[in-house]
Amino acid sequence: MKKSYKEFVRYDAAAKVLVCLDEWIIVNIPVLEKELALIPKPRGEITVNGAAISKMDSAGAWLLSKWLKSGSDSNFSFKLKDFSEQHLKLLALIEEEKAAQTPVPIPKRPGMVQRIGKFTMDQLEEFNDFLSFTGMLTMETLRLIRHPGSFRFAAVVNIIDTTGFRALPIIALLSFMIGVVISFQMGNQLKSYGANLFIVDLLGLSVLREFGPLLTAIMVAGRTGSAFTAQLGTMKINEEIDALNTMGVTPAELLLIPRLLGLFIALPLLSMWADIFGVLGGMVMAHNMLGVMPSDFIARFAHVIPLKTLLIGLGKAPIFAMLIGSIGCFEGMRVGGSADSVGTQTTRSVVLAIFFIIVADAMFSVLLSKMNL
């Protein structure tokens, strides 16, 4: 039965006596808290009489101890009177527990120098792991060369199909539009000088040497690199990779090397495909905007664009493929803990792959410039 108002506490302000009544147990805590809150904040010494307490548990003892300690900042002291030995022991135990508790330390936010240092060390550690991963792949590749019967040709063909053949439509569409944009932007400038035919020179050099392989690699990084990470990460969470190790099949043999080799073969072919549609898109725009006939475009293209321009662009593609494949597989093998890690590592895979593709392309540009190519 619910207790009525002011049934557990009676306070005599003149005599400075607090009388505790009835049952100080957990079910009565809400009423006890309300009654104790109505008592004016005492000063001086008061007497707490517990003779009328019929039952007290740890919750009641904790509440009484908390109220008594709340007046410690207002010249308040107290003495206990007529408490049973059992209740005194319970109150003493509560006090011991409170004394044993230590405040949870507030972690100090590291400074900027510390954060930069930690970030640097994390990156160096990840780079070291990547080098170990690359070394492991190299050793596995050498082992497969010595034992070609273990090589998974079907897996390589499947990767070429998923990363290459199925990407042809989107690569063709985007490359065609890039050719249109390049021809439109450059054509506006050339038209003002009456140099319409030079659109062939600019378009051929930019598409075959730079935009074709670079944009293809970026699109493949977003499409295929992320897929590699997500696939391997999901397999790792589902413990499928552990099952392969148990069966004596290394993940590199079945999962990693076929992906790298398939992408190594597919990306140069995709770059050639992107070159074709990029030039085709530029040719269409040159005809509509600048009046350059397709026959004149093709004749000048064969005359002014040397073969080395195409070979330089295609020569970048295998390097880009190894960057995309190795980063995608590495981040996939680092997935662990939960499904959230798959998303995190997949995002990281795409960002790192695109970053290193652009860095590699810049290094190619500087190196080829030094070699006068």
Q: Mean pLDDT per 10-residue run, the chain (373 residues)?
A: 58 80 84 81 76 83 79 67 82 70 72 88 91 91 85 89 92 93 87 84 90 93 92 87 82 89 94 94 89 88 90 93 93 83 90 94 90 83
- Residues 144, 94: one domain? no
How far is Cα 192 from Cα 293, in angstroms, rounded to an integer?
19
Q: Rounded to whole angstroms, what are the CA distances from 29 to 32, 57, 146, 188? A: 5, 11, 78, 82
pLDDT at 178: 92
Question: Encoding tokens for residue 368?
Answer: 């080829």
CATH of the domain at 29: 3.30.750.24
Question: Encoding tokens for residue 338?
Answer: 């939960």
Show contacts of 121-127: CB within 8 Å, 24+ apart: none
Pick left, alpha or beta for residue 320 (phi over 0 → left; psi -120 to 50 → alpha; otherwise beta): alpha
How far is Cα 129 from Cα 352, in angstroms, rounded to an integer?
15
Edge-to-edge strands of the sheet including 44-56? Answer: 9-12, 17-24, 44-56, 76-81
Structural domain contains residue 110: no
- 189-241 pLDDT, tens per residue? 888 787 888 888 889 999 999 899 999 999 999 999 999 999 998 888 888 88
pTM beyond 0.85: the answer is: no
What's the total number of domains in the chain?
2
How far is Cα 258 from Cα 328, in angstroms, rounded to an integer?
13
Structural domain contains residue 177: yes
Structural domain contains residue 109: no
- Residues 180, 94: one domain? no
Domain end among 100, 117, 147: 100
- Residues 219, 280: one domain? yes
- Residues 159, 307: one domain? yes
- 82-132 pLDDT, tens per residue? 888 888 888 788 777 665 556 667 777 888 888 899 889 988 998 999 999
